[in-house]
Chain A
Amino acid sequence: MAKESSGAIEIKGYGNDVNIILNTEAHFSDVEAELVERLEDSHKFFSGVPIVLDAGERVLAPEECKRLKEILIDRFKLNISSVRSESDETRKAMREIGWETKPQQRRQRKRSFTLRMPAEEENDTILLKGTLRSGQRQWHRGNIVIIGDVNPGAEVVATGDIVVLGKLRGVAHAGAEGDTAAEIIALDLHPIQLRIAEYIGRSPDLDLKTDTVPEKARVEDGNIIVGKLD
């Protein structure tokens, strides 16, 4: 899946949202083509994630803005939370088609260790430290290792494996783009729900399990099976 990208757009995660950054120099048709190509693979993965469209210094004509809206919203149903642009003209055109705009400079390019999202490097693993709390959603293309707990109401989504060196009490979705071989491992596995690829397993209504042995969940014959980690 790793395609040679022409660099007309960049998709990056900062803090809690994802930025789609348009290259200033690239021809608009390249921007358009690459956007479609990249989103074709990953738009489901971005479902619900607030996305900032960052046009930077690029000046976009009204038709170009409309075209972007068609691709991002009508076609891929992305949740565009705002548009960032340094050009007054672009901002005006964006506002005319109903997009909220922000004049500010881009957010600091401090690399957020939680949300780096390389499109070209598959099977990349990120390491997180700390507690993921209710309402927080951690997603990553690749594997996720968490040193800490995942509380009820929190969600971890990865296209690869998920390893929690702590208590997994929330929702974990491994193999989110369809990899049924993905696994979820936790030192204390008491999730509300486990999802691997398209399979869903929910916790029993009365969870009587009190032991805290490390366990592993994987898909077997179309069911999510939890077993001891060996």
Chain B
Amino acid sequence: MSGKSFVVTSGKGGVGKTTVTANLGAALATRGNKVCVIDADIGLRNLDVVMGLENRIVYDLVDVVEGTCRPKQALIKHKKAEGLFLLPASQTRNKEAVVPDQMKELIGKLKNEESFDYILVDSPAGIERGFRNAIAGVDEALIITTPEVSAIRDADRIIGLLQAAEMYEPKLIINRLSLEMVKKGDMMDQDDIIDILSISLLGIIPEDEEIVVSTNFGTPIVFSENSKSAGAFRRIARRIEGEDVPISPAGEIEEGLMVRFKRLLGFNRKGPEHV
């Protein structure tokens, strides 16, 4: 069986692409898959820091595509998860050091020669060359957005660009949803967001202060049992593997009384279908 590759992208910066890539990679790996996470943000690499692997980098993505080393030599095995590997970006080069065709070739090699089950490509923010590189050669796209108008606007733009690149079924992950704020009516909920983007929802990750701590320590939060968001990442991993795990706000985050009450009264209902 050949592996599956995903790009994790958002358009807007700071919505959590790197955090989602690291944690989803870790969650898939702890479920027994061989997973490769690729940092495509050449020149502004972060994934290595978030995963706590910065001090192990010798070769990087640019070295691999330029033929300075073999893919295997650049892959860094994660210290906590068997089967989780990082292909770091180069920090001293820029996006133009790689062209989309080279990414395509690389992902093919990783699937066939290194037999990865899942490959996650962490896309840089923006829609320029870095984004083009990140989407080249992947099978599917995961769109990350936060419940903010600006992030959703950019996600919408990205979905259009993906369609232009013949990727018609991107899946949505809503990051940093705060139940308290949704309850107060200060934040959009998942229905509002799906209304606008009209793509299928893969999961919701609750706002979680512990993410900041885990990021600073370079340990994906999936490894800490009791955090709010770790469960959400694990459920998304199961859905990626094809398991049918229902997505209800109650499953992702504790659904408050108010939300249910409002729903009963007919608020927060889906608006007219787009498209």
State whether B66 touches A135 (Cβ < 8 A): no
The 8 Å CB contact of A136, one of B56, B62, B90, B92, is B92
Judge whether A193 is part of the interface by a CB distance below 8 angstroms: yes
Q: Which of the candidate stretches A6-14, A22-30, A63-71, A197-205 sits at the interface with the other chain?
A: A197-205
Do the beta carbons of B54 and A152 come within 8 Å of each other? yes
Are B55 and A77 in contact, with the CB atoms below 8 A?
A: no
In the complex, how many angstroms separate the beta carbon of A208 from the nearest chain B beta carbon?
Answer: 13
| Bound-state Cα–Cα, A205 to B43, Å | 23
How many Å from the CB of A204 to the closest CB on chain B?
Answer: 8
- Contact call A48/B62, Cβ cutoff below 8 A: yes
A47 contacts B91, CB within 8 Å? no
Measured CB to CB, the nearest residue on chain A to B55 is A202
**Please, how many angstroms separate the alpha-carbon atoms of A79 and B92 in the complex?**
13
| Complex Cα–Cα for A152 and B49 (A) | 10
> Are B92's CB and A137's CB within 8 A?
yes
Report yes or no: A192 in contact with B55, Cβ–Cβ below 8 A: yes
Given contacts A48-B92, A48-B93, A135-B92, contact A77 B66 (CB under 8 A): yes
**Is A77 a contact partner of B68 (Cβ separation < 8 A)?**
yes
Partner of B67, one of A77, A134, A135: A77
- Beta-carbon contacts of B40-58 to A below 8 Å, as 1s and 0s? 0001110000001011111
Q: Are A205 and B68 in contact (CB under 8 A)?
A: no
Best-buried of A79, A135, A193, A203 by chain B (most CB within 10 Å): A135
**B47 CB → nearest A CB, Å:** 13
What string of 1s and 0s marks CB contacts (under 8 Å) between A120-162 and chain B? 0000000000000011110000000000000011010000000
The chain B residue sitting closest to A139, CB to CB, is: B92
Contact (Cβ within 8 A) B55 A135: no
The answer, yes or no, to whether B72 is at the interface (CB within 8 Å) is: no
- Among A167-208, those with CB < 8 Å from B are 192-193, 200, 202-203, 205
Asked if B70 is at the interface of the complex by the 8 Å CB criterion, the answer is no
Contacts of B57 in A (CB 8 A): 193
The minimal Cβ–Cβ distance linking B205 to chain A, given in whole angstroms, is 26
Given A77-B66, A77-B67, A77-B68, is A203 in contact with B92 using a C-beta cutoff of 8 Å?
Answer: no
Q: Chain A: which residue is nearest B62 at the CB level?
A: A48
- B52–A47 contact, CB under 8 A? no
Give every chain B residue within 8 A of A152 (Cβ-Cβ).
54
B262 within 8 A of A: no
Given A202-B56, A205-B55: A47 in contact with B92 (beta carbons within 8 A): no
- Quick check: is B263 within 8 A (CB to CB) of the other chain? no
CA distance A200 to B57 in the complex (A): 10
What residues of chain B lie closer than 8 Å to A153, measured between beta carbons? 45, 91
Chain A residues within an 8 Å CB radius of B90 = 48
Q: Contact: B68 with A135, CB < 8 Å?
A: no
> Which residues 75-108 in B have Cβ within 8 Å of A in the complex?
79, 90-93, 97
Question: In the complex, which residue of chain A has the Cβ closest to the Cβ of B63?
Answer: A48
User: What residue of chain A has the Cβ atom nearest to residue B67's Cβ?
Assistant: A77
* A200 contacts across to B, CB distance below 8 A: 58
Known: A135-B43, A153-B91. A203 touches B66 (CB 8 A): no
Closest to A205 in B: B52
Q: Is the CB of B68 within 8 A of A193?
A: no
Within the complex, the shortest CB–CB distance from A220 to chain B, in Å, comes to: 20
In the A-B complex, the 5 residue pairs with the smallest Cβ-Cβ separation, listed nearest first, are A202-B55, A137-B92, A203-B55, A192-B55, A135-B91
Can you name 7 A-B residue pairings with CB atoms under 8 Å? A48-B62, A48-B90, A77-B66, A79-B97, A153-B91, A193-B57, A205-B218
* A residues whose Cβ falls under 8 Å from a Cβ of B: 47-48, 77, 79, 134-137, 152-153, 155, 192-193, 200, 202-203, 205
**Further 7 A-B residue pairs, CB within 8 A, beyond A47-B68, A79-B66, A205-B52:** A77-B68, A136-B92, A155-B91, A155-B92, A192-B55, A193-B55, A202-B56
